[in-house]
Structure 1
């Protein structure tokens, strides 16, 4: 069975991918549109945040 591979829309200077949900090794940084999130590897995000 063949699966169709869909090319993701790039974001964050081509370092991220627009998806509805991010993968485990990615974080949501900005919105790509009304439903998609820009999922980026944390090492490419300039601002580090601390969660309490």
Structure 2
């Protein structure tokens, strides 16, 4: 019985200490962070002031300037 209570206490403590997933942005393809990794780039900013880190393959392609 003590082992069961100890296990439950440890699981409860771990659920409080392990951070959850970050806030999602850019149609759920990006993550709001203070810093982006080398693979990600900033396209927009989140509502909480953090950068929305999005992989370049999910960012819209810029239109050529010669098209109207």
* TM-score class, shorter: 0.7 to 0.9
Task: Kindly provide the CA deviation profile for residues 24-51 of structure 1, in whole angstroms up to 9, marking residues without a partner as x.
Answer: 1000010103530000000000134xxx
More strand per residue: 1
Aligned length: 47
CA-based RMSD:
1.8
TM-score using structure 1 length: 0.75
Distance 1:19 1:5, change over 3 A: same
Relative contact order (alpha carbons < 8 A, sep ≥ 6): 1 or 2 greater? 1
TM-score using structure 2 length: 0.59
| Contiguous gaps of at least 5 residues in structure 1 | none
Q: 1:38 pairs with 52, 60, 67, which one?
A: 52
| Contiguous gaps of at least 5 residues in structure 2 | 1-13, 63-68
